[in-house]
Structure 1
Amino acid sequence: MTEARIKPNPHAGLPGGKRRWPFHLSILLLLMPALLVPNYFRQVALFSGTGGLGERKLGEITIGPWKAQLAEFSVEEPLDQGLAGHIKSFALGLEPESATHVKASYMRVGKPRTLRAAGAIFYGPPYRQLVDLPIPQRTEPGERLWLTMEGWDGSVHQASIALSEASPVTEAWLAKQKGTR
Structure 2
Amino acid sequence: MKHPDSFWQRYRYYLSGIVLLFPLWYFYQALHPQFPAPWPSQQLGPFTIAPMPLNLKPPYIHHDQYLKDFYLAFQQGDVAQIRQGYVNLGPEALPLGQLQQAADGILHGSRHGQHVHAIAPATLDEGDKLWLTIETWEGEILIASWELPVALLTTL
Shorter-chain TM-score: what band? 0.7 to 0.9
Give the C-alpha shift of residue 135 in structure 1: 1.8
2:77 alignment partner, SS class: helix
**Coordinate RMSD, CA, aligned:** 3.1
How many residues in Structure 1 have an aligned counterpart in Structure 2? Answer: 149
Higher helix share: 1
- Kindly provide the amino acid, as one letter, of the partner of residue 63 in structure 1: L
For the pair shown, the structure with the greater C-alpha radius of gyration is 1
2:32 to 24, 34, 42: 42
Give the C-alpha shift of residue 113 in structure 1: 5.9
Is 2:97 aligned against 1:97?
no
Q: Which runs of 5+ in 1 are unaligned?
A: 1-5, 12-17, 47-53, 177-181
Aligned sequence identity (%): 21
Give the C-alpha shift of residue 39 in structure 1: 0.9
* 1:107–1:133 contact (8 Å) kept in structure 2: yes
2:64 to 80, 84, 90: 84
Is 2:13 aligned against 1:23?
yes
Question: Which residues in structure 2 correspond to 1:1-181 (within 5 Å)?
Answer: 19-42=9-32, 55-81=36-62, 84-95=64-75, 97-108=77-88, 109-112=90-93, 114-117=95-98, 120-137=105-122, 140-164=125-149, 168-169=151-152, 171=153, 173=154, 175-176=155-156
Give the C-alpha shift of residue 80 in structure 1: 2.7
Question: What TM-score do the two structures reach when normalised by structure 2?
Answer: 0.73
* 1:122–1:131 contact (8 Å) kept in structure 2: yes
**Cα–Cα, structure 1 residues 115 and 37, in superposed 2: closer, same or farther, change >3 Å?**
closer
- Kindly provide the amino acid, as one letter, of the partner of residue 19 in structure 1: Q
Give the C-alpha shift of residue 161 in structure 1: 0.8
Q: Which runs of 5+ in 2 are unaligned?
A: none
**Cα–Cα, structure 1 residues 65 and 97, in superposed 2: closer, same or farther, change >3 Å?**
closer
Give the C-alpha shift of residue 32 in structure 1: 2.5
